[in-house]
Structure 1
Amino acid sequence: MRASGESYGVIGALQAFPLRLATRRVQALGGRLHRNITRGTTAAVLGRKLLASKTQANIEQAVSNAREKAVPLLSENGFLRLLRSLSPVPTANITRQSMLDQSRLDGDTLDLLALFDAFEHHAEPFSFRDVILAKKYAGLVASGASWSAIARSVHQIGPVGSLTALTLQADGPARIVTKDAHSLAELDGQRLLPLPEVDEDAEDYFGAAEAAEAAQLFAEAATLYQHCATMDPTDAVAAFNFGNCLRALGHLPEAATAYITAIKRDPEFVEAWFNHGGVLRDMGRIQAAREHLGRAVAIDPSYADAIYNLAALEYDAHDLGAARQWWLRYLELDGTSDWARRARAGVGLANRMLNKAG
């Protein structure tokens, strides 16, 4: 959808700025903006101030009326993104049906939460971070919270994405509370009594990151892993996986930094040494790559992949003698795979070339 030639009807009021400013912006882009739905309305925008000014039943009726008129619905954030007044969200590819299947939210509830920007993406396709939020909201609904209470609450502490790092609990149908390190607070900041510690958010985050990585959604997975690594400064695996996703995206210097973080957190993390060596090789830093791969082998002398890569590194550097030694060492660990066949061919080539040179 584009602004030019469109006619937008705002239901309620925008939280972001007064209607007059929105009208000027739409007009500058060649469109029209008005209150509520008219016959010429091509899309309806649900202003978030509805949550404070109308009951849940009133809001649901307004949404139903718009749908009966076959008018497409936009959330406030969706409208602001269309006007380029809000940064675009990262690319995602999770369908509405997948969100429903994974979260067990009711379809109407998910749609209403999306229309009031309770997710980072205002509409399908959604992201894995949105799936995390949907699961949290499903838990709140199961505990008795209404969708409107969730929608009202989630915007009280900043970007909704930050909620993925919090434990949310329902305190009746109209009140949502969140746990920090010491106590509970309403999402508007009012202090409540402490409850027993529950440390499950990092695991939820990590599980979603793994799922995103497995689906080759590397940008999404990188974001999630980065949050995991930030939440727990001792987590070397999250930093390592963050590096893997950055490497898959072609961000080699950033991947190298992530691997360094993993190594600092766990100096014996052999895969981090190995992958860092691979990134350094790809960046043309051959001596540093050699040192990192060598360190991986020193930590784990049976690490066949590191040994093979060292052989390949020396071959590329035209040191056939060193390459031959590494290939022979590789064959001590693996004598049957395709890589072993290549190692034997490498040894044979090195033997011929070295004999010819001698």
Structure 2
Amino acid sequence: MPASGQSYGVVGALKAFPLRLAAKLVASRGGRLHRSITRGTTRIVIGRTLLSRLGEGEIEQRIAAARDSGAPLLSENAFLRTLGSLPASPPADLGRQSMLDQSGLSGDTLDLLTLFDAFEHHGPPYSFRDILLARKYAGLVATGASWSAIARSIHQIGPVGSLTALTLQTGADKILTSDAHSLAELDGQRLLPLLDTADEAEDYFGLAESAEAAELFAEAATHYAHCAAIDGSDATAPFNLGNCLRKLDDLDGAALAYATALKRDPHFIEAWFNYGGLLRDMGRIAAARQHLARAAELDPGFADAIYNLGALEYDAGDLGAARHWWTQYLGLDDSSDWARRARAGIRLADQVSRRTAS
């Protein structure tokens, strides 16, 4: 699918080149890219550096969370083909079920290997060469190899299609290839190795995410600030910086960080919402109203923004406006505790209106 009009969220980092370069390519084609999944994300890219930075269980958790967002997942090669940075896949006509039936792989393993570009095609339809690769991988799994060990090993020799001519077997913690004379690690020893692309911004971002998850907000803020300074096109790092500074009660710093995120990406829905909430806390009601309304305008299904607009108007004494927003909110959520609060607010607004009319 063309990049125009799409919003890509990247899980992990790309192996091919730094995310700031990817963001420029996407922007040049009329799309947007974030180092995270946002409400506006239409496609999620799984970066292959996850294989070198995280364990198998954590990778699976992050992919499961990405699937829960509802946006389609793309492998790194699928993303690069969308940008025109890789040639199109060769013709293919085999569906996912054919791959499962003819290879013996489980569905989960097939899907994970596909997301990490273990086949020539980044999804159905697959080719006969993909079937051959899948059978080899199934043999490795049967001898104790994990999907992540396979994925980590295969990309160290070049195009995966070249594996069809090799015999593969499982080593202690890696995949080995054998010929008539010897065993060798599948690590590119026979080829010139591909150089890793250094991306200092991505390193800082990874450190910041870990610190934030551990609730070390001051440390996380420092790393996010470094990332934001290095990559002037990224809106996610300053947005996350704003969240951390807000936790640290640095409201002015958080406001500046959110403003930076919105300058870099005016369609960043969560930044409009969080900045609106911060402005409300700072007593800047008119500005808060504008920011929350912009979040609701960008995503009419953003129930939290709509509810908060009702609460803001209620606190400001405009019960008619509060009733309007809470009625709209109930069209999105009619059963939660917040829905019950919205109904109570509407009843109060109606009572005041009747008393005023009489």
Classify the TM-score, shorter chain: 0.5 to 0.7
- Bigger relative CO (Cα 8 Å, ≥ 6 apart): 2
Q: Which amino acid aligns with 1:170?
A: T
Larger radius of gyration: 1
**Aligned-partner SS, 1:162:** helix
Aligned to 1:3: 3
Q: Which amino acid in the other structure matches residue 94 of structure 2?
A: I
Question: Aligned-residue CA RMSD in angstroms?
Answer: 1.1
After superposition, residues 244-263 of structure 1 pair within 5 angstroms as none
Residue 80 of structure 2 aligns with which residue? 80
Please give the secondary structure, in 2, of the residue aligned with 1:132. helix
Give 1:69 deviation, angstroms: 1.3
The AA in structure 2 aligned to 1:51 is L
Query: Paired residue for 2:44?
Result: 44
CA deviations 1:12-64 (Å, max 9, x no partner) are 01000000110010000000001121111111101100000011111101111
Q: Which residue identity does 2:115 align to in structure 1?
A: L
1:10 counterpart letter in structure 2: V
Q: State the SS of the aligned residue for 1:13.
A: coil
Q: For 1:129, give the aligned amino acid.
A: R
Alignment match, 1:27: 27
3-state DSSP of counterpart to 1:158: coil
1:183 and 2:182 aligned: yes
State how far apart, in whole Å, the 2-side matches of 1:132 and 1:108 are: 18
Shift, 1:175, TM fit = 1.0
Residue 122 of structure 1 corresponds to 122
Q: CA deviation at 1:68?
A: 1.1
Following the alignment from structure 1 to structure 2, what is the Cα–Cα distance between the partners of residues 46 and 150?
17
Partner of 1:310: none
The letter for the 2-side match of 1:177 is L
CA deviation vs aligned residue, 1:156-191 (integer Å, no higher than 9, x gap): 11100000000000113x310001342010101569
Range with bigger deviation, 63-72 or 143-152: 63-72
Structure 1 equivalent of residue 139 of structure 2:
139
Please give the per-residue CA displacement for 1:296-352, whole angstroms capped at 9, x wherever unaligned. Answer: xxxxxxxxxxxxxxxxxxxxxxxxxxxxxxxxxxxxxxxxxxxxxxxxxxxxxxxxx
* Distance of 2:59 and 2:131 partners within structure 1: 24
Distance across 2 between alignment mates of 1:68 and 1:74: 14
CA distance in 2 between counterparts of 1:23 and 1:69 reads: 21
Asked whether 1:152 is paired with 2:152, we answer: yes
Identity of aligned residues (%): 69
In 2, Cα distance between the equivalents of 1:185 and 1:36? 38
Question: Deviation string for 1:137-172 (max 9, x for gaps)?
Answer: 000000000000000000111100000000000113
Distance between the aligned counterparts of 1:121 and 1:189, measured in 2? 22
Where has structure 1 moved over 2 Å in runs of 4 or more?
Answer: none
What stretches of structure 1 of length at least 5 have no aligned partner?
Answer: 192-358
Other structure's SS at 1:169 match: strand
1:318: which partner in 2?
none
Paired residues in the alignment total 190
Q: How many Å separate the matches in 2 of 1:119 and 1:149?
A: 15
SS at match of 2:122: coil
1:190-222 CA distances to partner (integer Å, 9 max, x unpaired)? 69xxxxxxxxxxxxxxxxxxxxxxxxxxxxxxx
How has the CA–CA distance of structure 1 residues 36 and 136 changed in structure 2, closer, same or farther, with 3 Å as cutoff? same
What code does the residue aligned with 2:182 have?
Answer: S
Structure 2: tracts of 5 or more residues without a match:
191-358
Rounded to whole Å, the distance in 1 between the matches of 2:104 and 2:112 is: 15
Secondary structure, aligned partner of 1:40: coil
Residue 107 of structure 1 and its aligned partner are, at CA, apart by 0.1
- Partner residue, 1:100: 100
Provide Cα deviations, 1:257-300, integer angstroms capped at 9, x if missing partner. Answer: xxxxxxxxxxxxxxxxxxxxxxxxxxxxxxxxxxxxxxxxxxxx
Look up the SS of the partner of 1:44 in the other structure: strand
Q: 1:272 maps to which residue? A: none
TM-score (norm 1): 0.52
TM-score under structure 2 length normalisation = 0.52
What amino acid sits opposite 2:31 in the alignment? G
- The answer as to 2:43 corresponding to 1:69 is no
CA distance in 1, matches of 2:75, 2:185: 24
